[in-house]
């Protein structure tokens, strides 16, 4: 008699556990990375490239199952089928049908990769997407690239599947009851929240601006700031310009994801990030010129981005997961707790700004690529940014149907680059 082959399973990483509980109609917890080539995409070659990438990184075809106490990952053995893009972006991928949690599509010269956040963070997803692109370009340009040594991600399966949070957890740090991972307490601080109309069908609206890295870097350097600090300051001022006057006394809080691999040696392709908060209050901080905002933002980054702070955040998250009461709670109750904690976290932030940074592709392959972009689903508004060569793409995404913040932001940025271009997935008349 044939025996049924048992599916392989593994635990979700510490940060991933919250995403299945939060995924819903307004926020699918999906993000997209896209690459625009200089040529039309060949779907057959793209399928071959994806198949080879799955062979190299099989964990990206895992699905999520619900257990009695926790969600867990299960090997599906399935392969994603590439398809032409027809739907709006960031459609839900996670449900109870145990399907694939990634999606690869194409449209003319663009390749899109969407992924449910519980599978990987931006760094891990980018490694997988770069593998797809590398495979595609080496197949599509086999004659031109003959003899070229192709660079690959050099890491073992154990390293790629590691949970960085448990690996770098120190019991003497953090607290399971202070919820440091949720961000700064807002008991005495009123944080500004967007109160705007939403898309009736919960469709994610995306507004992207493409600008010159050199132009932004020059402007940031003139203010003694990094690119992230400079963009964060412009974002704060833009939100203020769009705020109702009767809410000027509220604090603008920017949540910024931090790649913990920059602080703790890890080759994991799973989630391994922390969050910091950058705050500014136009009612109490004095002068409000951009240079003043940048100075405040720079000081906040210097205070927040420390090894000790990241260590505290890791410890707090792991201790929360390992709390005796939490461990014995059934999954349905854990889901409720996670939804409540996320609600607390959202009240402590106005918006999230995620900078993936410079995307590196070896020169022999880079010549076929025009640019990259990425954006994340949001129940309100989120900003993502990345760069490739001299192209920097900054994306706003979310279900909010009004675009005053986006207009103010790109109007400010255009002062530093007159060639800035805007693209949207909605009518230009609405912008």
Tens-place pLDDT, residues 287-340: 689 999 999 999 999 999 999 999 999 999 999 888 888 888 999 999 999 999
Residue 2 has pLDDT above 50, yes or no: no
The residue among 137, 50, 112, 83 whose CA lies nearest residue 373 is 112
CA distance 288 to 28: 36
CA distance 28 to 116: 8
Residues of the chain with CATH 3.30.559.10: 9-165
> How sure is the predictor about 185, in pLDDT bands with cuts at 50, 70 and 90?
low
Residue 35 has pLDDT above 80, yes or no: yes
Could you tell me what percent of the chain has a pLDDT over 70?
Answer: 94
Instruction: Let me know: does 199 contact 401? Beta carbons within 8 Å.
Output: yes
Helix axes 404-413, 227-242, angle to 10 degrees: 130
Tokens of 419: 């060639």
CA distance 305 to 293: 18
Residue reference for tokens 């109750």? 333
Cβ neighbours of 284 (radius 10 Å): 8
33 three-state secondary structure: strand
H/E run at residue 216: helix 213-222
- Note the pLDDT of residue 187: 57
Give 222's contacts (C-beta < 8 A, 6+ positions apart).
none
Within 13 Å of residue 129, how many CA atoms lie on the same side as its CB? 29
> How sure is the predictor about 350, in pLDDT bands with cuts at 50, 70 and 90?
very high
- Note the pLDDT of residue 378: 97
Helix axes 122-140, 43-56, angle to 10 degrees: 130
- The pLDDT mean for the chain works out to 93
Average pLDDT (277-286) is 89
Average pLDDT (109-134) is 98
> Can you spell out the DSSP letters for 85-143?
--SPSS----STT---SEEEEEETTEEEEEEETTT--HHHHHHHHHHHHHHHHHHHTTT
- Which residues make beta-bridge pairs with 198? 400
CATH architecture of 170-356+372-430: 2-Layer Sandwich (3.30)
CA distance 125 to 153: 12
CA distance 207 to 195: 19
CA distance 334 to 321: 10
For the chain, give the number of residues.
431
Residues of the chain with CATH 3.30.559.30: 170-356+372-430
Domain 9-165 has CATH 3.30.70.600: no
- Tell me how far apart the 2 most distant CA atoms of the chain are, in Å: 79
- Note the pLDDT of residue 179: 54
Residue reference for tokens 């399935």? 78
pTM for the whole thing? Answer: 0.94
- Which residues make beta-bridge pairs with 279? 253
CA distance 277 to 182: 10
H/E run at residue 416: none
Instruction: Let me know: does 349 contact 254? Beta carbons within 8 Å.
Output: yes
CA distance 183 to 117: 20
């Amino acid at each position: 008699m044939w025996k049924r082959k048992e599916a392989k399973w593994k635990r979700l990483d510490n940060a991933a556990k919250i995403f299945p509980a939060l995924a819903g109609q307004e926020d699918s917890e999906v993000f997209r990375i896209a690459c625009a080539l200089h040529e039309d995409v060949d779907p057959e070659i793209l399928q071959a490239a994806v198949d080879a990438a799955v062979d190299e990184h099989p964990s990206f075809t895992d699905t999520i199952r619900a257990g009695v106490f926790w969600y867990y990952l299960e090997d599906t053995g399935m392969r994603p089928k590439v398809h032409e893009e027809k739907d709006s972006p960031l459609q839900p991928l996670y449900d109870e049908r145990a399907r694939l949690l990634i999606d690869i599509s194409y449209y003319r010269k663009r390749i899109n990769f969407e992924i449910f956040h519980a599978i990987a963070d931006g760094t891990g997803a980018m490694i997988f997407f770069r593998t797809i692109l590398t495979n595609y370009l080496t197949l599509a340009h086999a004659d031109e690239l003959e003899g070229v040594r192709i660079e690959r991600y050099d890491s073992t399966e154990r390293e790629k599947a590691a949970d960085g949070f448990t690996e770098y957890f120190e019991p003497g740090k953090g607290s399971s009851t202070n919820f440091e991972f949720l961000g700064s307490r807002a008991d005495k601080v009123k944080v500004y929240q967007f109160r705007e109309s939403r898309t009736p069908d919960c469709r994610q609206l995306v507004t992207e601006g493409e600008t010159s890295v050199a132009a932004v870097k020059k402007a940031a350097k003139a203010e003694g700031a990094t690119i992230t600090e400079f963009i964060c300051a412009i974002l704060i001022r833009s939100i203020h310009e769009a705020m109702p006057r009767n809410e000027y006394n509220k604090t603008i809080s920017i949540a910024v994801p931090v790649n913990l691999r920059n602080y703790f040696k890890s080759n994991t392709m799973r989630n391994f990030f922390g969050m910091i908060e950058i705050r500014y209050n136009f009612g109490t901080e004095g002068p409000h010129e951009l240079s003043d905002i940048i100075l405040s933002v720079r000081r906040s980054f210097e205070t927040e981005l420390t090894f000790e702070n990241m260590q505290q955040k890791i410890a707090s998250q792991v201790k929360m997961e390992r709390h005796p009461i939490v461990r014995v709670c059934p999954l349905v109750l854990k889901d409720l707790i996670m939804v409540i904690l996320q609600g607390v976290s959202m009240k402590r932030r106005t918006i999230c700004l995620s900078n993936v940074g410079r995307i590196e592709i070896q020169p022999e392959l880079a010549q076929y690529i025009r640019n990259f972009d990425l954006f994340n689903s949001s129940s309100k508004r989120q900003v993502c940014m990345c760069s490739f060569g001299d192209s920097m793409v900054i994306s706003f995404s979310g279900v909010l149907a009004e675009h005053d913040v986006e207009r103010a932001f790109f109007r400010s940025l255009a002062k530093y680059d007159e060639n800035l271009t805007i693209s949207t997935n909605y009518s230009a008349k609405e912008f």
